[in-house]
Structure 1
């Protein structure tokens, strides 16, 4: 019977705690008895001079009795260890769920209901007179809480089942014989079960595969790496691990696989990846030896088969790549693999595609997730791995490259032929592959274009990770990570690269123009996120502010961006709806923080306050002007997007408001009203202002032909500047109404001039 939500919330774990204490006493008592049996009667029996029947029967009986006492101690200790670990974990999970139900749910106005089967439902109860309309933020909070509660219950269910199974194996169902399965921890029992299931391979039922996934899911992030290491060692080694995953991925993605099987294999890919990342971290108390990384590199270019007479044998890297797409990997493991794969691709882009299966219905390959390719080209896979592994990606892009032989060994004294991987991927001769098993892909121009974008998108994810210090798809509420000198310098290199060569990321669908789309246009969304992360540095660049500016601070090390490259970079990147939304959202949040700083923080400046407010909004307004021009260019010139796409992308980028405000909070925690408790209000208000601004920044074809594309965008910039002043004035009682209006006027005037500057910079810089 499955553990229910109500069970976990209401059960009294005191009885289990008492049982743990009793078993500890039993273990201690049996330890003494076993010691006496071993050093007492057994030792005396063994040294005695027996004769006749006693020489065999009595001596054997005493030896067997002593062993049984020792076995009883081992069995009791196993029971104690399993119960103790189970109690500790269940107690922690119960604390989490009681916090969620008793504190978080009421705070959000949410009620929680047990729906049975180990599931719970969260909902907003109807209140008489209430419209029952909820904001997107409220709906997201409800979904997050429900997912969190059900995840806790599922984890508790896995613990409960593992403890019960371990106790049965320890006991062995033999009342007259102690000493069956011996465990030093619950982890040992869970790893044993996971290996037992994995050895069944594709003969696992759907239920068994789900059980394996649950074991991996809830044990793949342990700080000591014990379970993860025991699991991979239990598979038999790197080659056996690849064979197991290769067999399972094709079992779940083949034409005969059910939807349920595909879903379970997708989970297996994810959780085996997380588990491998945990097991290969050298800083964990338990981890796989370095030889695993070297062996994976050796197997990377070798065919891997798991069936007798297998015709299509993938290369090791094709299989491994499916696992690497999930997990935050240590650079000592991942970076050499990523370097090796990149160098192999640079030498021969089609090396790995030469052995693709032909005429089979499998559309997923070794990447059951289906995201960004099938995994036939491991380059996409390792770039995705870097996108989830910030430390590894930072080293990959910022440290001198190491040359590798084809077998994955370091080429002593070898020169890789390039100085940075950013240069490799942005070289005009670099060739991306069509990584898909989709039918008739080469005959379908749209399918080909989509597939050719998989690699650049993955590259964008890797660059995001390297420059932000976070996995590219990390929690939207995650705090920003201070910029290191290496990360900031990489941003400068990226801006210089694409600011000088914007054609690399251009997206043009207007068949009447001679300009072609660039090979890296698909990574503009990631470049937009990088820009949002480094908004302080981009605002510094607009009017050549010093990098150590107090008014426009960087978050950590300064990027020292070139002003001309920055404006051209922004103009090209901003033509992507997602990038435009991220940049616009971050710009307005950052500008609001700067204006708040000017109005509310103490200052020794002798300049007029209205002049300082005008200067505060100028850089952000210039960026807004560049964005307006970029949006108009994308819609009316390149036909690459529509107003609807720009507006729809905005809602997904509101995370940048809290993140950018958080950067300001770290600098001066006493700020009002943005600091402290009012942060939630400021965030919501700024988000609303951003949405209105983005929806207003639009133009139709008639306006474009009349040369008035930026009128609405200019008005939006003025509104945004006024709103920034209003935010800062909210809790400031020292500024009278007349002065407040002067400050609004100064902000609007400066915003108007700077918006025109930005639009003009973009238009002029676009003339190559």
Structure 2
């Protein structure tokens, strides 16, 4: 019978808490009894001069009795620890489920229904007179709630099963003999079971593999690292870890594998990777020794086999790369590996591709996720790892390189032959490889182009993490930019703003667009001529040359505009930049009205604040038109989609809290929603062939819409500040005129 929602929501965990207390009393009592037996009965027996039958039977009975009392104490202690941990975890899970059902669901207007088999469904109840139409945001929120509750139920079921198994092993099902398996925590029992299942390798059934994944998913990321560390130690070391993962990934991605098996293998890749990141973090309470990193580097260029008589064996880094694609890794573990892999690639770009399988589906290999390659090229994998590891990525791109030997040891007297990994990997001469097992790859130009771009996409992800301080793809508000992260963005603008042609059709542009959106205040400050008005989110990227005394490393306006023009040809980058600039401009306008008493005339100040946004909109318009009409790089519909999916940037920019809009509460809510709606309304274009024929008309339409967007933002800010309709409209019209003028400047610059 499956563990159900009703089981969890209605169970009285207070009774389990009482049992924990009772077992603690039992443990204390048996401890005292065992000590008494050891110092009393056993000690007297050892000192006694036994003779006859007593010398054998009685002495043996006393010894056995003392041992049994000690074993009973051990067994009771094990039961107490397991029950205590289970009680703590179940109370937390139960509280989260009740909050989700009793608080979160009503807020969304959603009901929760127990459908059995350990799952619930969430739905919007029909209300008389209601059309039952729901926005995508409402549907997404409902689905998130359903997935969250079902995940909590699965976690509770896993705890329940683990406790039952641990109690059974502790007791041993022998009424006349205590002292069987003992555990110091529930994690001990769970790690033991995970290792037991892993010992079966690819002979694990689908059911067993799903159990293994549950154990890893719910325990592998615990903050103290206990489970993750015990599990990896239990596997037997780095080499055994690679052998196990290689065996499982090849089994799960085999062309004959079922979809259930493949999906489970994708889950295993993720959960094992997250657990490895946890276990290799030196700052967790429980962690693997630093020698694991040394051994992984040593194994990186060695072939790994897991079957007797195996012919085609992968290199260690190819296998390890599959695990590294998931998890936020500590720099002390991942960066030496990343440096070694990059240096191996520089020396021989095709070293790791010499043994790749041919004629298989692209998903076949050590990267079951199928994202950005099959997993034969470990450079792509380790760059993806850095993309999830912001601190490590920042250090990788800013700290001086360390030279490594072929075997992964440090070459103390060696020179890597380059000054920084940022320079090396952004050099247009750097050779990227085709990481795919797909058939006829070289005969298919589109497939080849896509596969060649995997590494550059991974590089973009790593740069996002390094510059923003967040794993790429994160929805969170970024921390203040660090000096090192801002310096990386400065170098990227300088590198590609000087040679914008190097970004032509580059897979990196989407990431560069995200980074630009994150640094939009720096960008607009550079255009404004006085960055102090705009401010920065943390350290400055020094993009402008408005004050060479305090900013001697500033860039010329032409370099920044060239960079924006090249990056904006990508639909996703376009959407991120447009949304971010609208958010920053809206924030600046609101700030001006908030501090209106500081200015003799408000209109010129607002014009000054909206001018950079207008120029950026002009650059983006020209880039979009060039990409769609002139160079045929993307369809206009793709740009519309880029706008539609970039809505997170409004919340992120406002959430940075640099301006005067309060972060949190209703105020920031309506501001973000207004920005999102404005961007979609004003920058989603008519993509028909007829509309695209008139290039100038298309651009003029964008000019009007950009100005209208600023009009709306200014008018709304003025009304919120207490202006009547006439005065609010007057301020908005002035801002609108300024944007039309600066938009034209941006277009002209981008068109050069």
Deviation at 1:502, TM superposition (A): 1.2
**Cα 1:307–1:447, aligned 2, differ >3 Å: closer, same or farther?**
same
Partner of 2:574: 580
Partner of 2:550: none
Any conservation in 1 of the 2:362–2:370 contact (CA below 8 Å)? Answer: no
How far apart are the structure 1 equivalents of 2:15 and 2:596?
60
With 172-181 and 5-14 compared, the bigger mean Cα shift is at 5-14
Deviation at 1:389, TM superposition (A): 0.5
* Residues 1:717 and 2:706 are matched in the alignment: yes
SS in structure 2 opposite 1:120? strand
Of the three residues 519, 535, 543, the one matched with 1:553 is 535
With 557-566 and 570-579 compared, the bigger mean Cα shift is at 557-566
Partner of 2:585: 591
Partner of 1:544: 529
Partner of 2:460: 460
Once the two structures are superposed, residues 315-374 of structure 1 have per-residue CA deviations (whole angstroms, 9 ceiling, x without a partner) of: 000000000000000000001101110111011000000111245567421001111001
SS in structure 2 opposite 1:317? helix
Any conservation in 1 of the 2:513–2:576 contact (CA below 8 Å)? Answer: yes
Deviation at 1:540, TM superposition (A): 1.1
Any conservation in 2 of the 1:622–1:754 contact (CA below 8 Å)? Answer: yes
How far apart are the structure 2 equivalents of 1:289 and 1:303?
23
* Residues 1:686 and 2:675 are matched in the alignment: yes
How far apart are the structure 2 equivalents of 1:495 and 1:323?
32
Partner of 1:353: 353
Any conservation in 2 of the 1:536–1:555 contact (CA below 8 Å)? Answer: yes
Deviation at 1:12, TM superposition (A): 1.2
How far apart are the structure 2 equivalents of 1:168 and 1:706?
75
Deviation at 1:738, TM superposition (A): 2.7
Partner of 1:402: 402
Once the two structures are superposed, residues 513-569 of structure 1 have per-residue CA deviations (whole angstroms, 9 ceiling, x without a partner) of: xxxxxxxx01111111001100001101223323xx1x3111000101122211111
Deviation at 1:666, TM superposition (A): 5.1
Of the three residues 591, 595, 605, the one matched with 1:601 is 595
Any conservation in 1 of the 2:365–2:374 contact (CA below 8 Å)? Answer: yes
How far apart are the structure 1 equivalents of 2:301 and 2:674?
55
How far apart are the structure 1 equivalents of 2:695 and 2:653?
37
Deviation at 1:245, TM superposition (A): 0.4
Partner of 1:510: none
How far apart are the structure 2 equivalents of 1:136 and 1:306?
47
Any conservation in 1 of the 2:242–2:316 contact (CA below 8 Å)? Answer: yes
Once the two structures are superposed, residues 167-198 of structure 1 have per-residue CA deviations (whole angstroms, 9 ceiling, x without a partner) of: 01111010000110000000000000000000
Of the three residues 563, 566, 576, the one matched with 1:569 is 563
Once the two structures are superposed, residues 492-521 of structure 1 have per-residue CA deviations (whole angstroms, 9 ceiling, x without a partner) of: 0011111111122112xxxxxxxxxxxxx0
Correspondences of 1:745-764 after superposition (within 5 Å): 745-764=733-752
Any conservation in 2 of the 1:697–1:710 contact (CA below 8 Å)? Answer: no
How far apart are the structure 2 equivalents of 1:603 and 1:387?
45
SS in structure 2 opposite 1:221? coil
Q: TM-score, normalised by structure 1?
A: 0.95
Any conservation in 1 of the 2:255–2:364 contact (CA below 8 Å)? Answer: no
How far apart are the structure 1 equivalents of 2:415 and 2:529?
39
Q: TM-score, normalised by structure 2?
A: 0.96
**Root-mean-square deviation (Å):** 1.4
How far apart are the structure 1 equivalents of 2:694 and 2:539?
44
Correspondences of 1:184-195 after superposition (within 5 Å): 184-195=184-195
**Cα 1:706–1:556, aligned 2, differ >3 Å: closer, same or farther?**
closer
SS in structure 2 opposite 1:40? helix
What number of residue pairs does the alignment pair up? 740
* Residues 1:732 and 2:717 are matched in the alignment: no
Partner of 1:511: none
Once the two structures are superposed, residues 665-718 of structure 1 have per-residue CA deviations (whole angstroms, 9 ceiling, x without a partner) of: 3554xx46x764221122112111010111148796676656344111101111
Correspondences of 1:276-291 after superposition (within 5 Å): 276-291=276-291
Partner of 1:333: 333
SS in structure 2 opposite 1:522? coil
Partner of 1:484: 482
Partner of 2:436: 436
Any conservation in 1 of the 2:622–2:747 contact (CA below 8 Å)? Answer: yes
SS in structure 1 opposite 2:369? coil
Correspondences of 1:187-586 after superposition (within 5 Å): 187-360=187-360, 363-474=363-474, 476=475, 478-507=476-505, 521-546=506-531, 549=532, 551-561=533-543, 562=555, 563-586=557-580
Any conservation in 2 of the 1:364–1:373 contact (CA below 8 Å)? Answer: no
How far apart are the structure 1 equivalents of 2:365 and 2:500?
34
Partner of 1:169: 169
* Residues 1:633 and 2:626 are matched in the alignment: yes
Partner of 1:133: 133
Once the two structures are superposed, residues 254-287 of structure 1 have per-residue CA deviations (whole angstroms, 9 ceiling, x without a partner) of: 1221111111111111111001001000001111
SS in structure 1 opposite 2:508? helix
Deviation at 1:651, TM superposition (A): 2.1
Deviation at 1:428, TM superposition (A): 2.5
How far apart are the structure 2 equivalents of 1:685 and 1:241?
51
SS in structure 2 opposite 1:639? coil
Any conservation in 2 of the 1:699–1:712 contact (CA below 8 Å)? Answer: no
How far apart are the structure 2 equivalents of 1:360 and 1:699?
40
How far apart are the structure 1 equivalents of 2:295 and 2:605?
61
SS in structure 2 opposite 1:113? strand
How far apart are the structure 1 equivalents of 2:380 and 2:125?
46
Any conservation in 1 of the 2:497–2:562 contact (CA below 8 Å)? Answer: yes
How far apart are the structure 2 equivalents of 1:133 and 1:282?
51
Any conservation in 2 of the 1:592–1:727 contact (CA below 8 Å)? Answer: no
Q: Structure 1: which 5+ runs fail to align?
A: 508-520
Partner of 2:114: 114
How far apart are the structure 1 equivalents of 2:676 and 2:576?
12
How far apart are the structure 2 equivalents of 1:698 and 1:690?
16
How far apart are the structure 1 equivalents of 2:525 and 2:658?
19
Deviation at 1:405, TM superposition (A): 0.8
SS in structure 2 opposite 1:384? helix
* Residues 1:741 and 2:724 are matched in the alignment: no
